[in-house]
Chain A
């Protein structure tokens, strides 16, 4: 068990949605880890970029703050 603090996490319905979301924000190559096929861990800055990119595309993810 490890505690990772101040990371960005994205969880999608399925792996394909995750790939699309990451690609939309050009974050694919900066993913820190994929602990599950539909979950990715990112740096905080990349997660914020991801939120902005998805909002710009009208996708409006559920942002948990």
Chain B
């Protein structure tokens, strides 16, 4: 059975999918107003079954609507300033179609970021600020009023007995719910002459309330019929004849197939594609939703990302094979297998829970069944790893009296300077950061005892730089190093040159004036290694003899120490 409801709702869901696919393909940045930029709206609009006409005064009502619904339902979310598929997207598209529809309806009812007045092309709202917040002196309904009005209109739509014209529906809404969006109880008051902050498109002043209900609330109701009520399957709406009919049920199964081409392009063909299956395709390909035909490009990056989300390469290949009438091209099969194998060669958990087996511990016995929910994987050395769980899951999984070392915070310093160049670090308290520091500066000298090691410090300072190494030492020790050990560390690290302890050649002046004159002598200047203080100079080797000769030429005999 084919009905308008099927077409409208299914098409609505496919429009939603197209918007999400565009988000995957473009990863748009989110501007201050919480929305992507105009370029995104334009390209996403072209991916819709019936795009809005930007030049007919309509902004991009459908895109704004689907973005708001998708965010409300958790299908899209902001991550690091860009829009991306949200945490609930996979679970949503795995639901049966009727449950998906109910989810979208709930999202519309509760959508606080959506204001139907703002996306109605016939209206202008100068008092609506950019962030979609309503000015206190305007009559633009707020989120709670809109939520109640949506439920009222949905109930009216579901109560339709027979076909009804849009005009009749609006008139019925006016007679039954005159204050649906704006309170009209006191329209005779001089304060309520106008719809404050609401104008007709192109008008220079706010609409008068008298005689304009159809032009204000009526146009919003028309938009609600055309978009949410129709696209979320409450009614069948025929935009050409502007008539509403009760929604009919949909029982026809999805019907479509894919064509996988040797150039790695996948085309989805058919009148009734299934949004859930298309979503699976979109999750391991790069969607190309711009054109009329749905296309997906097989690429290594999204394929690997899908594997990281827990999908298996054979599972993905199997999906393609099940949807394609013909066998996959050989080069595509080979590449997919290769990408899967290559991706398995390097696995990264960017935010992980790592359970370390110490010594010969048998973690499977120690952990028991408590940690099954974590989805731990065994890595070499008998350790276990999984993506960091949320706090509640972790608490339930941890054995009694066990705490996790949380590396998103500063961990307590557990290394204490001991006698001489030794360091004490109790094994049971050692975390990775402390162990890393010990490896950078010391060698193990016995249980819990380490000793600062010159060659290790020199090598680490060369790799990290003395400043970075010393900063790590300062941060990692429970107490400062003793002056003697600090001197050794800072010298080994290259921060200091070793001090000079030798028989030195010196030049002393008797007064600052004499020092100034001596410094002016070019024969002397070249032999001064360092100025030690006012009138005191360390000379280079052989410098004392040269200085005496230079002074002799001036008829001066330099004094010697007795």
Contact = CB atoms under 8 A, between A and B. Distances in A.
Contacts of B433: 32
B187 interface: no
Given A1-B355, A41-B432, A6 B406 contact: yes
B398 interface: yes
Interface in B327-385: 339, 342-358, 361, 363, 366-367, 379-381, 383, 385
B168 interface: no
B261 interface: no
Contact of A5 (B305, B344, B379, B406): B406
Q: Which of B350, B394, B435 has the most CB of A within 10 A?
A: B350
Given A5-B388, A17-B345, A58 B354 contact: no
Contact of B349 (A13, A31, A47, A60): A47
Given A1-B363, A33-B435, A55-B301, A12 B352 contact: no
Contacts of B301: 55, 60
A9 B354 contact: yes
**Count class of interface residues, chain A:** 35 or more
A32 B472 CA distance: 12
B383 A13 contact: no
Interface residues of B, number: 54
A4 B405 contact: yes
Interface centre among A1, A8, A39, A47 (most CB of B within 10 A): A1
A58 to B, nearest CB: 7
Nearest to B408: A6
Contacts of A62: 304, 307-308, 343-344, 346-348
A23 interface: no
A10 B346 contact: yes
A53 to B, nearest CB: 11
A3 to B, nearest CB: 4
B385 A59 contact: no
B496 interface: no
B403 interface: yes
A9 B346 contact: no
Contact of B345 (A4, A13, A36): A13
Contacts of B407: 4-7, 43-44
B355 A11 contact: no
A29 B301 CA distance: 27
Contacts of B380: 11, 35-39
Interface in B429-486: 431-433, 435-436, 463-464
B379 A41 contact: no
Nearest to B359: A1
Contacts of A4: 353-356, 404-405, 407, 431-432
Contacts of B353: 3-6
A8 B351 CA distance: 5
Contact of A35 (B304, B343, B351, B383): B383
B383 A36 contact: yes
Contacts of A8: 348-352
Q: Which of A4, A11, A41, A65 has the most CB of B within 10 A?
A: A4
B410 interface: no
Given A2-B405, A3-B403, A8-B348, A63 B385 contact: no
A35 B385 CA distance: 12
A7 B463 contact: no
Given A32-B433, A61-B304, A1 B348 contact: no
Contacts of B107: none
A55 B380 CA distance: 24
A41 to B, nearest CB: 6
A13 B443 CA distance: 29
Contacts of B388: 5-6
B387 interface: yes
Contact of B308 (A7, A33, A63): A63
B151 interface: no
Contacts of B129: none
Given A2-B405, A4-B354, A9 B435 contact: no
Contacts of A3: 353-356, 398, 402-405
Interface of A: 1-13, 17, 21, 29, 31-33, 35-39, 41, 43-44, 47-48, 50-51, 54-55, 58-65
Given A4-B431, A12-B346, A35-B383, 7 more contacts: A1-B361, A7-B432, A10-B349, A11-B380, A44-B408, A60-B343, A61-B346
Which 4 A/B pairs are nearest by Cβ-Cβ distance?
A36-B380, A36-B381, A61-B346, A3-B404
11 contacts: A4-B356, A5-B406, A5-B408, A8-B349, A9-B348, A9-B385, A21-B346, A29-B463, A60-B343, A63-B347, A65-B349
